[in-house]
């Protein structure tokens, strides 16, 4: 009777459940840590926004559990060349990025950025967003504010003023300086002037990224200049969205990679980023000579109205269509969007020329381009890159992956598919299908390599103490779906994505969470 009473007493006591060790536990996945190490099966434990456990299956428990059985668990991907400011406030979900595992984007490439940068970062901090967000300072933006779109050297006083602007931007949180020496006004900037500004950023821990003066016939000289700027300024250098444009230039990646190798052997810190597509995308103005665009649209219209200048312009554009971004045929230039006529999106320059009653030649296509530019221009996709150069650049051990895309409005216009597919395309096409990279190496190019380059010291690796930006995907299914005809298609294969420890994609469904943060560079002062 006494034993029965004790048993009844024990049954009446409350059952004490094991208190959770983690806020979130990801179980049973193949962990690829981002450092290039071989995968292993294990668990990842998270407390708050931080990874606290990475290792074999644990008996510890989490308040919430996500199963990663049969899936890859990797650090969230870092897009080091993004034009995300075009949509981050209007489309804060950034679903195109999240569905390919991107948790951090770096904006301000190609010499163009907000300035001053502090108000932009302050605004971002107050508007909930899904991804983390950092900024480079654009050299073109700085020069335009001080000099305008003029083709002249800066005075010593102007250089001093621009150096001060770079210094302030670094204190406000910039990660470094970007140039677009192919674009205005960067194209008018002497090497030494760029180096003077880069030196300021480098002394404050920043990086220098460059859309070089040429990615076509003069690409070898452009790489040499980029390396020279790094050498003069004492700053880490990134050849951004590295590619070789124009049929006659295909194969020159052998020489550009040799130059990078030689520079690195001399102690110059040079790296590369790349998107894996055989087409680029930029404005229609890329076909135009720089003199035609100097001083802006009003000056361009005046030149276009002068018969002699228009004829000269037409001849130079025709050459660009034949030998450069047009790759020998006006059909290789495709309208992504034209503000003056939305119906042109998806049409080629050959289509538009033919629709205007002209036989399609290089000269008539050039005339059509001038007419479109007179109406404000278009964004275009240029099919002029060789697959062999893509794979050669991708194999290079210091090449990281970057989209050169943005955060698009779903279904609007016909943009380059890189905004939707870059990272998934590397994993699906170039890892699983073509075996250009191993899975572990590809993930290193998307995580720890860019994190180290941009000094994101608490991201890019799955390690205790790192921020819990995590991508979980199926290696057998991951693939880009977006193509050049139907670009508005999300990548497939990503199952869970976390940003700062908060799920934003779970069981392949987008959540309403907005845990993204503004990220600040190495010289930031509050």
Is the separation of the CB atoms in 55 and 15 below 8 Å? Answer: no
Contact 511, 496 (CB under 8 A): no
Residue 5 pLDDT greater than 70, yes or no: no
Q: pLDDT tens across 351-365, in order? A: 999 999 999 999 999
**Judging by beta carbons within 10 Å of its beta carbon (0-12, 13-18, 19+), is residue 155 exposed, middle or buried?**
exposed
CA distance 411 to 409: 6
CA distance 401 to 77: 9
pLDDT surpasses 60 at 7: no
According to the model, what pLDDT value does residue 86 have?
A: 81
**CA-CA-CA-CA dihedral for 71, 75, 80, 81, to nearest 10:** 30
Classify domain 76-281+384-456 by CATH architecture.
Answer: Alpha-Beta Barrel (3.20)
Strand partners, 41: 30
Per-residue pLDDT at 463:
98
> How far is the CA of 460 from the CAs of 33, 34, 67, 224, 452, in angstroms?
9, 6, 22, 30, 8
Chain centroid offset of residue 403 CA: 4
Beta pairing partners, 282? 380
Secondary structure (3-state) at 436: coil
Q: Which residues, in sequence order, are bridge partners of residue 64?
A: 24
The pLDDT tens digits of the residues spanning 370-418 come to 999 999 999 999 999 999 999 999 999 999 999 999 999 999 999 999 9
**Any idea what DSSP says for residue 409?**
P
Per-residue pLDDT tens over the stretch 168-191: 999 999 999 999 999 999 999 999
Indicate if the pLDDT at residue 313 is higher than 60.
yes
* 219-249 pLDDT, tens digit each: 999 999 999 999 999 999 999 999 999 999 9
End-to-end alpha carbon distance in the chain: 72
- Beta-carbon count within 10 A of 202 CB: 24
For the cut 60, the answer to whether the pLDDT of residue 4 exceeds it is no
Angle between helices 219-233 and 253-265 (to 10 degrees): 20
pLDDT mean over 336-364? 97
Q: Compute the CA torsion angle 205, 207, 208, 210 (nearest 10 deg).
A: -170
Pairing relationship of beta strands 270-274 and 22-31 according to DSSP bridges: unpaired
Closest CA to 84 of 518, 520, 500: 518
pLDDT surpassing 60 at residue 114: yes
pLDDT at 13 over 50: no
193 has pLDDT over 90 = yes
Q: Where are the alpha helices (DSSP H) in 404-484?
A: 418-425, 439-446, 448-453
pLDDT tens figures, 438-454: 999 999 999 999 999 99
Q: What is the dihedral of CA 428, 431, 433, 436, to 10 degrees?
A: 140
Query: Residues of CATH 3.20.20.140 domain(s) within the chain?
Result: 76-281+384-456
Structure-block tokens of residue 475: 């290696």
Beta strands in 193-307, from DSSP E residues, in sequence order? 207-211, 237-239, 270-274, 279-283
68-90: per-residue pLDDT in tens?
999 999 999 999 999 999 899 99
Summary mean pLDDT of the chain: 96
Residue 17: predicted pLDDT: 57
Percent of the chain residues topping a pLDDT of 90: 96
Residue pLDDT, tens place only, 148-168: 999 999 999 999 999 999 999
Q: What is the pLDDT of residue 11?
A: 42
- Predicted confidence (pLDDT) at residue 18 exceeds the cutoff of 80: no
Residue 2 clears pLDDT 50, i.e. is over it? no
Tokens linked to 120: 């932009």
pLDDT of residue 38: 98
Cβ(99)–Cβ(421) below 8 Å: no
State the pLDDT at residue 127.
87
Helix axes 139-146, 191-203, angle to 10 degrees: 120
Element containing residue 430 per DSSP (H, E): none
Give the pairing of strands 72-75 and 470-473: antiparallel
Decide if pLDDT at 43 tops 70: yes
Task: Indicate if the pLDDT at residue 12 is higher than 70.
Answer: no
């Amino acid at each position: 009777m006494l034993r029965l009473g004790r048993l009844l007493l024990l049954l009446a006591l409350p059952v004490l459940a094991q208190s959770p060790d983690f806020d979130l536990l990801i179980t049973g996945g193949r962990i690829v840590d981002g450092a290039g190490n071989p995968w292993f099966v294990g668990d990842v434990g998270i407390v708050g926004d931080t990874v606290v456990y990475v290792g074999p299956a644990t008996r510890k428990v989490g308040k919430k559990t996500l199963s990663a059985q049969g899936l890859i668990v990797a650090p969230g991907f870092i897009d080091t060349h993004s034009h995300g400011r075009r949509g981050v406030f209007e489309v804060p979900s950034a679903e195109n990025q999240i569905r390919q595992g991107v948790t951090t984007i770096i904006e301000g490439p190609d010499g163009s950025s907000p300035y001053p940068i502090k108000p932009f970062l302050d605004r971002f901090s107050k508007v909930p967003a899904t991804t983390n967000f950092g900024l480079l300072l654009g050299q073109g933006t700085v020069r335009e504010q001080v000099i305008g779109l003029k083709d002249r050297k800066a005075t010593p006083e102007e250089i001093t003023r621009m150096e001060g602007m770079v210094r302030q931007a670094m204190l406000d949180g910039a990660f470094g300086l970007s140039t677009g020496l192919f674009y205005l006004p960067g194209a008018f900037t002497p090497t030494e002037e760029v180096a003077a500004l880069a030196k300021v950023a480098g002394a404050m821990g920043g990086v220098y990224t460059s859309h070089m003066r040429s990615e076509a016939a003069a690409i070898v000289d452009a790489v040499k200049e980029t390396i020279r700027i790094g050498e003069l300024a004492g700053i880490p250098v990134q050849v951004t969205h590295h590619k070789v444009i124009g049929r006659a230039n295909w194969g020159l990646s052998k020489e550009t990679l040799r130059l990078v190798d030689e520079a690195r052997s001399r102690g110059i810190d040079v790296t590369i980023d790349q998107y894996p597509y055989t087409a680029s995308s930029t404005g229609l103005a890329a076909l135009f000579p720089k003199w035609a665009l100097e001083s802006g649209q009003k000056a361009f219209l005046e030149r276009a109205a002068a018969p002699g200048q228009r004829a000269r312009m037409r001849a130079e554009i025709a050459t660009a269509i034949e030998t450069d971004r047009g790759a020998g045929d006006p059909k290789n230039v495709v309208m992504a969007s034209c503000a003056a006529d939305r119906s042109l999106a998806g049409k080629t320059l050959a289509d538009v020329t033919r629709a205007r009653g002209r036989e399609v030649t290089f000269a008539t296509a050039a005339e059509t381009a001038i007419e479109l530019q007179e109406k404000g221009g278009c964004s275009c996709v240029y099919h002029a890159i060789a697959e062999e150069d893509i794979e050669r650049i991708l194999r290079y051990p210091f090449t990281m992956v970057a989209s050169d895309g943005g955060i698009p409005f779903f279904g609007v216009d016909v943009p380059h598919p890189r905004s939707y597919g870059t990272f998934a395309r590397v994993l699906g096409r170039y890892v699983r299908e073509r075996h250009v990279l191993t899975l572990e190496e590809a993930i290193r190019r998307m995580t720890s390599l860019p994190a180290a380059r941009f000094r994101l010291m608490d991201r890019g690796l799955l390690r205790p103490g790192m921020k819990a930006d995590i991508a979980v995907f199926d290696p057998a299914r991951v693939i880009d779906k977006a193509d050049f005809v139907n670009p508005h298609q999300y990548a497939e294969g990503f199952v869970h994505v976390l940003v700062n420890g908060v799920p934003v994609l779970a069981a392949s469904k987008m959540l309403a969470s907005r845990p993204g943060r503004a990220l600040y560079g190495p010289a930031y002062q509050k």
